[in-house]
Amino acid sequence: MRPALNLRTLVTVVLIAALVLLPLYTGLSGNRFLLTLFTRIVILAMAAVSLNLMLGYGGMMSFGHAAYLGIGGYAVGMLAHEGIDSGFVQWPVALAASALFALVIGALSLRTRGVYFIMITLAFAQMAYYMFAGLARYGGDDGLTIYKRSQFVAPVDLSNKTQFYYICLALLFGVIYLVWRLTNSRFGLVVQGARSNDLRMRAIGFPTYRYRLVCFVIAGTLCGLAGALLANQTDFVSPSIMYWTRSGDLIIMVVLGGMATPFGPLIGAVALLVLEEVLSGITEYWQIILGPLLLLVVLFARGGIDGLLTNLSGKASGQGRS
């Protein structure tokens, strides 16, 4: 057990160090593209961390998590379009709108279980997609250009790419810490108990529905923050930010990196997005490789990278013993 922990910890520490030092490298080498790519990775990792709270710890298999990226993003975009560009207004609105949407959708979809839950969360996310696509005032299908990033007080400047990267990274670590605290709190144990055995939780005296709902809302709200960041990064928001395949990508990140582990979604996000980048460098039709690859991972390498790390460590310790 201990070596597995060490290898995973090693990978995590190296990854964090690399993320922290990245702007140094891109600054020296002048590779701006890498910084843009990793800003995006960090933001989507934050979305994956929020999904992990609900999917990994809570066992709620939502296929609509990208909706909150869209709502957070549109909160920024629509307010900016109306001339309100203070981040002190935009970001709280992004969080509140995501929380409200999650509350309504969660209250409905948590009445069901299993495959129903998957389909319903997907359907409601798609409803949000069509709703934004129907808003002609805000660009409809074509989306909305954001001419000015969210404004904060003096030293903070989101237009500075390095600064923006570090803000995203700091928020990501903040969210990871928050989720870690949550999952070890009384609340977190209730949510994990409900994942494990909901009937038993009710039998020992927990009204599990409301705990799951609160978990659903927290996860959605945190993802809304990621959405606000994403809109700032791309200076643009359109319905495609919340297209359902994006929800699928987030699930892949969580599963690939290790469900119900604090840093798993980050590892998964880096792995998936870097892999996409590499594959799309090889061929224009890169998804024809990614699709079957994903299939192979599901069929033959359950547990993704997380499982791989555990296996490798297991083998290493096995050899050590013999």
- Residues 129-158 touching other proteins, rule: CB under 8 A, are 130-137, 140
The CB-of-226 to other proteins minimum distance in angstroms stands at 20
* Among the listed residues 14, 21, 108, 274, the single contact to other proteins using CB under 8 A: 108
Residues 63-82 that bind other proteins (CB under 8 A): 63
295 belongs to the binding site for other proteins (CB under 8 A): yes
> Which is closer to other proteins, CB of 19 or CB of 256?
256
231 belongs to the binding site for other proteins (CB under 8 A): no
61 belongs to the binding site for other proteins (CB under 8 A): yes
Classify strands 236-237 and 144-145 as parallel, antiparallel or unpaired.
Answer: antiparallel
The CB-of-290 to other proteins minimum distance in angstroms stands at 6
Q: Which stretch binds other proteins (CB under 8 A): 11-19, 91-99, 168-176, 201-209?
A: 201-209
* Among the listed residues 94, 201, 226, 241, the single contact to other proteins using CB under 8 A: 201
Count of residues that interact with other proteins, criterion CB under 8 A: 72
How much is the CA Rg of the chain, to the nearest whole Å? 20
The sign of the CA dihedral 5, 7, 8, 12 is positive
* Among the listed residues 148, 197, 274, 316, the single contact to other proteins using CB under 8 A: 197
* Among the listed residues 285, 301, 315, 318, the single contact to other proteins using CB under 8 A: 285
> Which is closer to other proteins, CB of 78 or CB of 168?
78
Q: Which residues lie closer than 8 Å to 214 by C-beta, 6 or more apart?
A: 187
In the block, tokens 């237009």 appear at: 159
109 belongs to the binding site for other proteins (CB under 8 A): yes
> Which is closer to other proteins, CB of 83 or CB of 114?
114
* Among the listed residues 294, 311, 312, 314, the single contact to other proteins using CB under 8 A: 294
Q: Which stretch binds other proteins (CB under 8 A): 104-112, 145-153, 261-269, 314-322?
A: 104-112
Cα gap 278→30, rounded to integer Å: 20
* Among the listed residues 36, 206, 277, 312, the single contact to other proteins using CB under 8 A: 206
> Which is closer to other proteins, CB of 34 or CB of 61?
61
Cα gap 167→91, rounded to integer Å: 14
* Among the listed residues 116, 148, 301, 318, the single contact to other proteins using CB under 8 A: 116
